[in-house]
Amino acid sequence: MKTLATALGLTGLDSRSKTQRTDAQFFEWRVVGIALCVFVGYYLGAKIGFALTLRPHPVSVLWPPNSILLAALLLTPVRVWWVILLAAFPAHLAAQLQSNVPPAMILCWFISNSCEALIGAGCVRYLIDRPVRFDRLGNVGIFIFFAAFLGPFLSSFVDAAFVAINHFGGDSYWQVWRIRFTSNILAALTLVPLIVTWVADGIAWLWKIRQARFLEAALLLIALLSVNTIVFYKLGSSADSALLCLPVPFLIWAAVRFGSRGASAAICTLTFLAIWSAGHGYGPFSTRSAEENALSIQMFLIVMSVPLLLLAAVIEERGKGAMTLREREDRISLAAESANLVFWSINFERKESWMSDKGRAIFNFGPDEPLSRELFLSRVHPEDRDAVDEAIEHARVESQTFEIEYRLLRPDGDIRWLISRGRYLRNDRGGIRELIGVAIDITAQVKADLQLGLQREEMVRMSRVSSMGELTASLAHELNQPLTAIASNAAAGRRLLAQGSPDPKMFEELLADVAMDARRAGDIIHGIHHFVRKGEGTRCRVNLNEIVREVLRLLHSDLLGRGTAVETELAPNLPSVDADPVQLQQVLLNLLMNSLEAMNDTSAASRRVVISTTCEPNSSVAVSVRDYGSGLPADDADKVFTHFYSTKPNGMGMGLTIVRSIVEAHGGKLRAENVDEGARFFFTLPVTRKSETREVA
């Protein structure tokens, strides 16, 4: 909760200093300067106040010292207010002692004047949570009510009471109250904004102003002085009172073009000329008694200055608002640009549409081309067009937000990927008012994803090639069988021919065998080629039993060489799965090789691998490879699937990682566990769904 003390103390300090060090400096140097300024200002203010007294009336029309004190309090932190008051006191004495006023009365006046300044400054400080300026309507309202009205209103009771107690002068209590009240209101309205607006921000802003502004200001000043001089001096006392409104356009000019600074300066000029002319018997305020004249001037100036200050505040606030809005827009558009975001809207009621510049560039729309659904769809890739149109239509009918991912086909053939999100806004009657949305260009991301996919694919292939490398000897053996048969048959044929007794039937069989073996050799080579070439990742319906058989065919020689028996327990009527057959072969091959290597230390008699396929209850198929080898690391069986984990002296540790990545890419799961005398690897793959089966069938 905000207490009065903290509000007064801290807000005042915060406006100028954030740390104790600067706080201390504030005391050392600026306080001394301010005190000096207050002293001089207060003294001069009192002098001016005396000068603006309409003789023979004893009370000044405008009494500046109180306002100077108030302005000083508004500009300084609460904790140095005592210094301000202390500095004002000698000035008060020095000024008042020259005017034959009893010392007690002088003291009383200081008390009432201080009261007024403290009430005004205290209230304003408490209510305005920042440095006091006249650039906001609310601030100006608070200032006018609390500082310019309430302060003088309350303190004038005290002041009039002091006058009555001291039996000073001949006026009644209410007369004194009334005279002081109006003169202090006028002073507060005229001088405080002037001092605060011109002193608070220093003079640095002056150097940033363009020459044209200076010229305009000078022109305005000359015009204001001329008009005021004409109104208050040249026109006689009998002139039409409507002419008093002559300065108003110039005052408004000042407020509109120069804000609170201009308005306060213009009011000040008007005030001094009006009072000065009246004091010297010129102008419209010189016709009646001094007291009546003073009151007229005061009322005229108060009525002029209050709306003008408010107008200036409104103008400044609007200017600041516009600037803030522009800054915010800049920030949003910067964010949008850096995030490749596109904003757009189509207002159906006003027949207006808008899209950020970047968006127009991406969609290849002209700068002022009106947007429409049709125009948008014309840019969408033909293959995506129907889906996008459907999504938007659905959102329109259902009043939902749509989110679509699609491609743009640009005139140069370039394709960009985008995600759009949009919503139809409805008016009070339920009709469609506006369609708004954002789009984000995800081309770079999509390309990166594709690249990553290609890299993964390539890695899987390289691993396949390398497992083929490990199998070279076996494959050579496998290929040698048909070649040996062909060579033997050919040699036999030649010999039979040379012996001159060719039996045609036997020759036909011989040649049929040669042809068959040649085909067999071709199949082996084709299989190897198929296995290591760049896969297109084509998926089809695959029977896992078939895959097991193919891999065993491929590994046949290797198994013989290692003296390992392979037993298969293949489930009959195994449902098919959707998969890339080559990659599944790779999975099984890697698992088998892994099992074979795990059994290097197993005695030849017990070297055995059992491969089984089973139907799982949750509509998936499982393949298990069980060996009688060294088993998995006891602490963490899953460790074998991590990158670069290998128990082999020259293993890269990538095989099982790739196996897992392939299985997971097929929507399956790969597990490993230790079983009696060995390990078991098994993976599951989801069965082809019925609907798809029907489609294929």
Partner 1 sequence: MVDDDQSVRRGLGRLFKSAGYAAETFASAEDYLAREIFEGPICLVLDVRMPGLNGLGLQETLEKRGACEQIVFITGHGDVSTATQAMKSGAIDFLTKPFDDVELIEAVKLAFERAKEQLHKRGERREARGRIEKLTPREFEVLRFVIMGLLNKQIAAELHTAEKTIKVHRGRVMQKLRVTSVPDLVRVSQRAGVSPAHNPHKTKIN
Question: Least Å distance between CB 509 and partner 1?
Answer: 8
The nearer residue to partner 1, 382 or 469, going by C-beta atoms, is 469
Tokens encoding 393 = 């239509």
Which residue carries 């193919």 as its tokens?
A: 550
Check residue 536 and report its DSSP letter.
-
The nearer residue to partner 1, 347 or 488, going by C-beta atoms, is 488
What is the rounded distance in angstroms from the CA atom of residue 386 to the CA atom of residue 192?
69
Where does this chain bind partner 1 (CB under 8 A)?
473, 476-478, 480-489, 491-493, 495-496, 499, 506, 510, 513, 516-517, 520, 557, 560-561, 563, 565
Question: Least Å distance between CB 551 and partner 1?
Answer: 17
The nearer residue to partner 1, 411 or 504, going by C-beta atoms, is 504
Q: Is 282 helix (H, G, I), strand (E, B) or coil?
A: coil
> Of 621, 624, 622, which Cα lies nearest the Cα of 576?
621
| Type and span of the H or E element at 321 | helix 290-338
State how far Cα 232 lies from the chain centre: 58
Question: How buried is residue 419: exposed, middle or buried, by Cβ count under 10 Å (0-12/13-18/19+)?
Answer: middle
Question: Least Å distance between CB 482 and partner 1?
Answer: 6
Question: Least Å distance between CB 481 and partner 1?
Answer: 4
Q: Is 627 helix (H, G, I), strand (E, B) or coil?
A: strand
Q: Helix crossing, 443-470 with 581-598: angle to 10°? A: 50
Q: Is 515 helix (H, G, I), strand (E, B) or coil?
A: helix
Question: Least Å distance between CB 466 and partner 1?
Answer: 20
The nearer residue to partner 1, 32 or 511, going by C-beta atoms, is 511
Question: Least Å distance between CB 595 and partner 1?
Answer: 18
β-bridge pairing 341-347 and 402-409: unpaired
Question: Least Å distance between CB 603 and partner 1?
Answer: 15
Question: Least Å distance between CB 545 and partner 1?
Answer: 21
β-bridge pairing 669-675 and 341-347: unpaired
Question: Least Å distance between CB 665 and partner 1?
Answer: 35
> Of 119, 192, 99, 127, which Cα lies nearest the Cα of 159?
119
The nearer residue to partner 1, 277 or 474, going by C-beta atoms, is 474
> Of 482, 560, 488, 563, which Cα lies nearest the Cα of 527?
482
Question: Least Å distance between CB 557 and partner 1?
Answer: 7
The nearer residue to partner 1, 545 or 557, going by C-beta atoms, is 557
Whether residue 624 contacts residue 684, with contact meaning beta carbons closer than 8 Å, is answered with no
The nearer residue to partner 1, 346 or 551, going by C-beta atoms, is 551
Question: Least Å distance between CB 468 and partner 1?
Answer: 16
Question: What's the full length of the chain, in residues?
Answer: 697
Question: How buried is residue 265: exposed, middle or buried, by Cβ count under 10 Å (0-12/13-18/19+)?
Answer: buried
Number of Cβ atoms within 10 Å of the Cβ of 124: 23
Cα-based distances in Å from 683 to 351, 541, 551, 615, 634? 60, 17, 16, 12, 20
Question: Least Å distance between CB 615 and partner 1?
Answer: 30
The nearer residue to partner 1, 90 or 561, going by C-beta atoms, is 561
The nearer residue to partner 1, 86 or 511, going by C-beta atoms, is 511
Tokens encoding 155 = 């303190």
Whether residue 190 contacts residue 151, with contact meaning beta carbons closer than 8 Å, is answered with no
Task: Give the contacts of 48 (CB within 8 A, at least 6 positions apart).
Answer: 62, 64
The nearer residue to partner 1, 147 or 611, going by C-beta atoms, is 611
SS (H, E, C) 38-91: HHHHHHHHHHHHHHCECCCCCCECCCHHHHHHHHHHHHCCHHHHHHHHHHHHHH
Q: Is 163 helix (H, G, I), strand (E, B) or coil?
A: helix
Question: Least Å distance between CB 512 and partner 1?
Answer: 10
First to last CA, the chain: 76
Q: Is 542 helix (H, G, I), strand (E, B) or coil?
A: strand
> Of 648, 547, 545, which Cα lies nearest the Cα of 593?
648
Cα-based distances in Å from 643 to 156, 434, 463, 630? 89, 53, 13, 20
Question: Least Å distance between CB 494 and partner 1?
Answer: 8
Q: Give me the DSSP letters along 655-677.
A: HHHHHHHHHHHTT-EEEEEEETT
Q: Per the omega criterion (within 30 degrees of 0), is the bond before 56 cis?
A: yes
> Of 80, 44, 159, which Cα lies nearest the Cα of 113?
159
The per-residue b/e assignment along 366-384, b for 16 or more CB within 10 angstroms, e otherwise, is eeeeebeeeebbebbeeeb
Question: Least Å distance between CB 560 and partner 1?
Answer: 4
The nearer residue to partner 1, 438 or 485, going by C-beta atoms, is 485
Question: Least Å distance between CB 514 and partner 1?
Answer: 8
What is the rounded distance in angstroms from the CA atom of residue 109 to the CA atom of residue 163?
9
